[in-house]
Amino acid sequence: MNEMVDEIFSSLKEDLEKAYSHQQNEYLVIRAGRANPHILDKVMVEYYGVMTPINQMGTISVSEARILNVNIWDQSQIKNVVKAIIQADIGITPTDDGKTIRLVFPMLTEERRKEIVKQVKKICEETKITMRNARRDSLDMLKDMKKDSTLSEDEFAQAEKDVQKMIDKYTELADKLASEKEDEVMKV
């Protein structure tokens, strides 16, 4: 086809990749009854006047299936880190012995698992909406090209099919990811 069409497809693919990647990152933070270090990814601590992620202040490790240990390198910051975790409202209360911060993940109830599955489905739907918006934008650009006679009717029809193929591929990936996360959450 022509360069502009290639550019539109390149932009579409980039937008779809971003949406899918965002979905993956959102799922990393959802806890499924097992200790997951990624639950602390968004927790920031004020460290000498700078908001700093916990994973840059110490090591985060899984000691048992449901216990997360956080070892802060600067021991004077333990109280600040505990405070930040509590304020982050991740649903787990940290305990510390002066050296190590422990997060004990409670067993999930059936009701809580169902709530988490709803959250998983909501994230998947938001991802698909983002993908549909990217499709709409791409198709609008292609229609403008057809209207300006930069693109023939046949080229437009083919480009439209190709856009839909790409959307279908990424929608399938998003659904598969959501399904895997649901299975992980519902597994006792």
pLDDT value of residue 26: 86
pLDDT value of residue 105: 80
Specify whether 125 is located in the same domain as 180.
yes
Specify whether 116 is located in the same domain as 71.
no
pLDDT value of residue 52: 86
DSSP conformational letter for 30: S
CATH number at residue 8: 1.10.132.20
Q: Which domain holds residue 174?
A: 3-29+109-186
The answer, as to whether pTM is greater than 0.75, is no
pLDDT value of residue 31: 64
Helix locations, 30-152, DSSP H: 78-88, 110-147
Specify whether 48 is located in the same domain as 12.
no
Specify whether 99 is located in the same domain as 115.
no
Residues 6+ apart with CB under 8 A from 1: 151, 155, 158, 159
Specify whether 24 is located in the same domain as 62.
no
Residue 31 CB neighbour total at 10 angstroms: 22
Specify whether 69 is located in the same domain as 86.
yes
Specify whether 113 is located in the same domain as 180.
yes
pLDDT in tens, the chain (188 residues): 588 888 999 999 999 999 999 998 888 777 666 777 877 877 888 888 888 888 888 888 888 878 889 898 988 888 888 888 888 877 788 888 888 888 888 777 888 888 888 989 999 999 999 999 999 999 999 999 888 888 888 888 999 999 999 999 999 999 999 999 888 888 76
pLDDT value of residue 126: 94
Domain count for the chain: 2
